[in-house]
Amino acid sequence: MNAALVGVTGYSGVVLYQLLQQHPEVATIRLFGRSDSQPQPLVEAVPNFIGDHTMIEPLDAATVMANCDVIFFATSAGVTTKLAAPFIAANFPVIDLSGDYRLQDPQVFTKWYHKPAPAVSALQHSHYGLVEFANAAGHSYIANPGCYATATLLGLAPLAQQHLVVPDSIIVDAKSGTSGAGKKLATSTHFSQTNENLQLYKVNQHQHIPEIMQQLQIWDEQIPAIQFTTTLLPITRGIMATIYAKVASGVTTAQLTQAFNNTYAEHTFVRVLPNAQLPTLKEVVGTNFCDLGLSYNPITHTVLVVSVIDNLLKGAAGQALQNFNQYFGFAATAGLQLATVMP
């Protein structure tokens, strides 16, 4: 299996390259940059890869399709809108970590991403690759979900699918490490600003909200909206989504617990904690797991769900590799047998 990767210099691209290097079914990895760029040694672009003599080549669709079996885009929003057309036309396998093809309505994309949207005809080829609920097999263009969306949807899926909560009562308080903002320099991610500090940002305006709503309304069309708050944590990696909702009349703690256990019983990378335990970020950072914990308050009729992931793995590169494994029929855990970062 020969893989192509565009965007190795970003955080998600770096992690994806590392995962592909240890994948038992991947023989070669070719790295590509902009089509108008000059060839560049990887070690010049990412000094951490000392001793790796791989070159980053200018992107050429014909070269990729003649020599590779799949292409990953770990690029910023707006890039694959410009570059994907030849691959879509040829039904060539694409796994896109950006947000360009996640939303089915181009007007919604333009509203939230403030960029031109892909054509409707191109969006029709896109598969939203939330792995636990949509198998990538048979879909040549896979839109990898966003990190906040992954943590939030996995936390809400049993509640929405089984109609266990009041549809207009969902509140999500989501928090992320600074790597979620990417490598681009910004005042908000400067060490002096993030250290010993908490910062709310994009409250009810985060670009992952529409993909969360798009999926929630597939599960329960009665859900009109969610309250969604995002906070920047003074850490490098990890997302914690703390989710609150009013339970539907008559729903019990046992029903809630059974809903989560049944939903994820066959899914290797989602772990439901027992006995009302709530997860911490340290349990998942460095792994592809999503850990879920829930607690029900019968006095306020409110269920609390805590969902934690590593934003660069389950929230990006790890889920991309899960989609890769599904598409090609490889073992679900291939390339993803990772250990938590301890201490």
Over the stretch 193-207, which tens digit does the pLDDT of each residue have? 999 999 999 999 999
Which residue among 29, 94, 130, 147 is the active-site one? 147
40 closest CA partner among 28, 24, 52, 26: 52
How far is the C-alpha of 21 from the C-alpha of 336, rounded, in Å? 11
Q: What is the pLDDT of residue 34?
A: 87
- Give the HSE-up count for residue 109: Cα atoms under 13 Å, Cβ half-sphere: 19
pLDDT for 183 equals 85
CATH C-level class of 2-145+314-328: alpha beta
Active site residue 290: no
Q: What are the extents of the domains in the chain?
A: 2-145+314-328, 148-311
At 184 the pLDDT is 85
d(CA 315, CA 24): 22
pLDDT for 343: 84
Q: At what angle do helices 318-328 and 11-21 cross, to 10 degrees?
A: 50
Q: What is the CATH number of domain 148-311?
A: 3.30.360.10
* DSSP code at position 259: H
280-295 burial by CB neighbour count: b if 16+ within 10 A, else e? ebebbbbbbbbbbbbe
What's the pTM? 0.97
Q: Which residues of the chain have pLDDT under 70?
A: none
